Amino acid sequence: MTAAGLTPIQSDSGALLPERLGDLTGLNNLGFGGELIATLLAAALVGTLMLTMTAVAGPWAKRKITAAFTDRIAVNRIGPFGLLIIVADAVRLLSKELIVPENADRPAYDLAPIVIAASALLGFAVIPMGSGIHLADPEVGLAYVFAVAGIASVGLVMAGYASANKYSMLGGLRAVAQNVAYEIPLVVTGMSVVIFAGTLQMSEIVAAQAETLVSLGGLDIPMWYAFVNPFAFVLFLVANVAEVGRNPFDTPEAPTELVAGYQTEYSSVYFVLIYLGEFIHIFLGGAIIATIFLGGPAGPVLPGIVWFTIKIWGVFLFTQWLRSALPRVRIDQLIEIGWKGMLVLAFANLVFTAIIVGLLETDLALAMVIFP
């Protein structure tokens, strides 16, 4: 039974975005070439949407949110509400000279910013955003998004090593140690959701959460996995904060110790790509959380894409709150939390979830035998 008032994740036809664009423009009638063009157009549409949100988040929203937490004003002089700071910062950064260290290892130095930014954008290919905005829906969607998000670790190591700077090298090593320590708990906690849903397919995980968990006074509470297993939700949220490098887990780029870590030697458009990649990863983390724990784009009254946007911006607001509220932990504390704390709790949650689901399925099978 679908919870009352929740919007479906796709259109009534259930078609993915490339198919809908191909039908709308007639490109599907042109054979493989037309379908390829429709797919590229759909990918460009989703990429533009995410890059626009990132452009708003980085130069403007981050400053405004931090200022609100610390009782300051922040940007307010360039354009209405200071919004044109986005354009001003873009022009300022892109017009700066690109300075490459003399002993830099190229092309690794050149490729690292692209790898960092592209790995996050690739993850949105399988995220159902509602209102028919869904590029692809493979059966291994959740495994795919974890895999491509993990490619960013390669980019961080490349940036640190290729910069010919000891501080950058230390930042790259810290980044890899942190990502390994927290990516395993992240994936293991995500697998507990797979046990509940019985699938890795993102659309099916969202559809499973549309069922009603409980009705209170005529109000149907949907079976979002954040309600079903809040412990897993908190674990995943903390591990995600570590994965995207937000406080208190921002040791790979700690300015008090490493100047700027793996990005110390980057300037101009390369710095923009690294900065862009950082915020795209925050939004990708929010998109994964919204999809597997918060019902994806489901919500009352408003279109699915609006609810999806609200949820991922909610995760972004949470990361900025942590940035203003919590001090940075030491690298040894960070590793200890990951290996001795998060990993143990993630596996305990996985085993507990498997036992609960097994008991529920056994009870259901017995009920069907007794009451056929």
What is the three-state SS of the chain?
A: CECCCCCCCCCCCCCCHHHHHHHHHCHHHHCHHHHHHHHHHHHHHHHHHHHHHHHHHHHHHHHHHHHHHCCCCCCCCCCHHHCCHHHHHHHHHHCCCCCCCCCCCCCHHHHHHHHHHHHHHHHHHHCCCCCCCCCCCCCCHHHHHHHHHHCHHHHHHHHHHHCCCHHHHHHHHHHHHHHHHHHHHHHHHHHHHHHHHCCCCHHHHHHHCCEEEEEECCEEEECCHHHHCHHHHHHHHHHHHHHCCCCCCCHHHCHHHHCCHHHCCCCHHHHHHHHHHHHHHHHHHHHHHHHHHCCCCCCCCCCHHHHHHHHHHHHHHHHHHHHHHCCCCCHHHHHHHHHHHHHHHHHHHHHHHHHHHHHHHHHHHHHHHHCC
pLDDT (mean) for 223-243: 91
Using only C-alpha atoms, what is the Rg of the chain? 22
Burial of 358 (0-12, 13-18, 19+ CB in 10 A): exposed
Residue listed under structure tokens 């927290």: 182
User: Under a CB-based contact definition with an 8 Å cutoff, are residues 1 and 209 in contact?
Assistant: no
pLDDT in tens, 197-226: 889 999 999 998 888 777 777 777 888 999
Q: Is the pLDDT score of 5 beyond 60? A: no
Percent share of the chain, pLDDT over 70: 93
d(CA 54, CA 61): 9
Q: Is the pLDDT score of 231 beyond 70? A: yes
Better-predicted residue by pLDDT, 203 or 361? 203
Q: Is the pLDDT score of 9 beyond 50? A: no
Domain boundaries, the chain: 17-370
Better-predicted residue by pLDDT, 128 or 299? 128
Write out the two tokens for 166: 């000891």
Residue listed under structure tokens 């159902």: 128
d(CA 122, CA 111): 16
63-67, 207-211, 226-230, 362-366: least confidently modelled range: 362-366
180-194, 301-315, 358-372: least confidently modelled range: 358-372
pLDDT of residue 153: 85
Instruction: Read off the pLDDT band of 13 (50, 70, 90).
Output: very low
Q: Is the pLDDT score of 11 beyond 80? A: no
pLDDT in tens, 258-283: 777 888 888 888 988 888 888 899 99
Write out the two tokens for 121: 């954008």
Q: Tell me the CA distances in angstroms from 95 to 6, 89, 111, 266, one per residue in order.
A: 47, 10, 20, 14
Instruction: Read off the pLDDT band of 165 (50, 70, 90).
Output: confident
pLDDT (mean) for 60-71: 89
Q: What is the pTM of this model?
A: 0.89
pLDDT of residue 372: 56
